Amino acid sequence: MLNVVVNGFWGPREESVPDIAERWSGTLTALKDIDGPTFDVWHEAGDDLPSDPVLEPSAPALAEYIERKNTGPDLDVVGRTTSLWAQNPGAARVSMALHAGSTSHYAVNSVSLAFRSREVDETAEVIRRAPEILRLLAESWGIDAGQVYDRPQYRAVAERFGLENSDPRCGRAVFLSAGRAALAPEGLPGTYVRTADGGLVVDLTRGGTESPAIETIIEANTRLREAGALEKLPAPFDRATF
């Protein structure tokens, strides 16, 4: 069964609802350019039924949705949380979850895409392009670190290194912000792709042409940790990226 996640995290960064909505709208447009059949007809978070309201992925509509889903005090501190989902014929079910605008020194901001299906498997084009999607999320959201993984890979790395959910790690691909990228060792078993702001995606799938063994992923994590590229942000968090 397909269960693949692409995600990223960053530290405190103040953002208004219109700013978040603008980033989100641009991300959804770029995702549709990557794979139109998968990233189309987004539904509001609800019961995950076809009857859930469809949301037009424009910046104004997303801003209204974010406001509607987030009520209460101190939102500029705790941030705003929202999600959408899509499931189209012949494509995996995809959920996009977002927590952004938090200025708290004790909670991270995050963005994730989760792909799940009993019919679609990891040979699907959209899954092979998951490292490219990771780069898109990194450039759209200014993330600090991110990864692509399936559940066995995630569990193996978490158990080997004793990691918490938001700790930086390498899956079948990893994104490193510019400060982390400066520490990354050469010669990891994958392709190196730079982002516009000096970040780095290390893709152990080599453009979706290989399926790295868990031992290979563990070794990449070991080398990146030894180099300091996967250190946690200082806690309490004092900046958005490493």
Q: Check: CB of residue 129 under 8 Å from CB of residue 137.
A: no
pLDDT at 49: 79
Strand, helix or coil for residue 49: coil
Tokens of 139: 């450039």
Residues of the chain with pLDDT under 50: none
The continuous run of DSSP H or E covering 22 comes out as: helix 17-34
26-76 pLDDT, tens digit each: 999 999 999 999 999 999 998 777 889 999 999 999 999 999 999 989 999
CA nearest 135: which of 143, 127, 124, 123? 143
Q: Check: CB of residue 241 under 8 Å from CB of residue 178.
A: yes
pLDDT at 106: 93
The rounded distance, in Å, linking the Cα atoms of 168 and 9 is 8
Residues in the chain: 242
Q: Which residue bears the tokens 């990557």?
A: 34
pLDDT at 51: 81
pLDDT at 206: 97
Q: Check: CB of residue 224 under 8 Å from CB of residue 218.
A: no
Q: Check: CB of residue 226 under 8 Å from CB of residue 161.
A: no
Q: Which residue bears the tokens 């991300």?
A: 27
Q: Kindly give, in sequence order, each residue whose CB lies less than 8 Å from that of residue 239, ignoring residues fewer than 6 positions away.
A: 11, 12, 233
Q: Kindly give, in sequence order, each residue whose CB lies less than 8 Å from that of residue 32, ignoring residues fewer than 6 positions away.
A: 39, 40
pLDDT at 47: 79
pLDDT at 50: 81
